[in-house]
């Protein structure tokens, strides 16, 4: 079955530091890949996505590139802010037989300190 | 605001009891998903409905059931509750079941089984 593995947290960074959160996946076929973010006390919200190999998703300074050869979708940001403190989830989405499933990694908690 | 409404926000009950969680999807979305989030298991997919029909099942226990009504709202019924069922239950919705679909999440129902 499909699965997503992301680096364990928590990750603590100083403001303006570089962020990388690793994500690798296992899937058959050609899934779409996503990063969702969950701020304290809220539901998940889409941060960025990529739907085919070599696509780069980007939003709010975050980027991730769909690498089929390494089955990876690592999240990066050049300069994190305190407001980026949240839990980040890597996910893969796959359609089939009239259904659609989004499989999530376990999440990585990021804390950014001033 | 994602447009997905979940009620109640918090639920405290005792072992052996039965509860119903309710979800109203975003206007125009036909697909509803239920997820369970716990510290040890992460975000687990439970079940998906599309326009009233069950389309995919994940790690949903036999004690749990769900349905989607003609007005597209959905209910998740949890019965014979155990301590281990304590978790945050999320509902999400999407327009359809196409590849790359974006899910919109509600704020969740925090269930505490005492």
Q: What is the pLDDT of residue A109?
A: 95
pLDDT in tens, B76-102: 999 999 999 999 999 999 998 887 888
- What is the distance between the alpha carbons of residues A14 and B102, in angstroms, rounded to a whole number? 31
DSSP tag of A52: S
Farthest-apart Cα atoms in chain B, separation: 40
pLDDT for A21-57, tens place per residue? 999 999 988 899 999 999 988 889 999 999 999 999 9
Is B48 in CB contact (< 8 Å) with chain A?
yes
Burial label, A93 (beta-carbon count in 10 A; 0-12, 13-18, 19+): buried
Give the nearest chain B residue to A104 (CA atoms). Answer: B43
Cα-Cα-Cα-Cα dihedral sign, residues A108, A75, A59, B28: negative
Q: Do A41 and B107 touch (CB under 8 A)?
A: yes
Mark yes or no for CB contact B90/A102 under 8 Å: no
According to the model, what pLDDT value does residue A14 have?
97
On whether the CB atoms of residues A3 and A101 are closer than 8 A, the answer is no
Q: How confident is the model at residue B74 (pLDDT cuts 50, 70, 90)?
A: very high
Question: If you measure CA to CA, which chain B residue comes closest to A35?
Answer: B102
When pLDDT is averaged across residues B69-73 and rounded to a whole number, the result is 97
Q: Is B7 exposed, middle or buried (0-12, 13-18, 19+ CB in 10 A)?
A: middle
Q: What is the DSSP string of A88-114?
A: EEEEEEEEETTEEEEEE---EEEEEE-
Mean pLDDT, residues A4-30? 94
Q: Which residues in chain B (60-89) have CB-CB distances under 8 A to chain A?
A: none
Chain CA centroid to CA B2, Å: 15
Calpha distance B21→A30 (Å, rounded): 34
Are A51 and B96 within 8 A, CB to CB? no
SS in 3 state form for chain B? CCCCEEECCEEEECCCCCEEEEEECCCCCCEEEEEEEECCCEEEEEEEEECCEEEEECCCCCCEEEEECCCCCEEEEECCCCHHHCEEEEEEEECCCCCCCCCEECCCEEEEEC
Considering only CA atoms, which of B67, B64, B58 is closest in space to residue B81?
B64
The predicted structure's pLDDT at residue B2: 86
Q: What is the rounded distance in angstroms from the CA atom of residue B40 to the CA atom of residue B77?
A: 22
When pLDDT is averaged across residues B65-82 and rounded to a whole number, the result is 97
First and final C-alpha spacing in chain B: 31
CA distance B24 to A37: 21
Mean confidence (pLDDT) of chain A: 93
């Amino acid at each position: 079955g499909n699965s997503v593995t992301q680096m364990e947290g928590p990750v603590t960074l100083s403001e303006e530091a570089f962020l990388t959160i690793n994500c690798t996946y296992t899937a058959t076929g050609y899934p779409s890949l996503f990063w969702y973010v969950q701020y304290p006390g809220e539901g998940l919200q889409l941060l960025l996505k990529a739907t085919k190999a070599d696509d780069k998703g980007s939003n709010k300074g975050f980027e991730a590139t769909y690498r089929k050869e390494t089955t990876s979708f690592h999240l990066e940001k050049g300069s994190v802010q305190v407001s980026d403190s949240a839990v980040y989830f890597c996910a893969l989405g796959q359609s089939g037989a009239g259904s659609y499933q989004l499989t999530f990694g376990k999440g990585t908690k990021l804390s950014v300190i001033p | 605001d994602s447009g997905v409404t979940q009620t109640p926000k918090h639920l405290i009950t005792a072992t052996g009891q039965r509860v119903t969680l309710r979800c109203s999807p975003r206007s125009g979305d036909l697909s509803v998903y239920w997820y369970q989030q716990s510290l040890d298991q992460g975000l687990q997919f439970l079940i998906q409905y599309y326009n009233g029909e069950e389309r995919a099942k994940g790690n949903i226990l036999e004690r749990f059931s769900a349905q989607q009504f003609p007005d597209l709202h959905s209910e998740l019924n949890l019965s014979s509750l155990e301590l281990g069922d304590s978790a945050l239950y999320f509902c999400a919705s999407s327009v359809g079941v196409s590849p790359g679909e974006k899910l919109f999440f509600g704020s969740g129902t925090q269930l505490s089984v005492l």
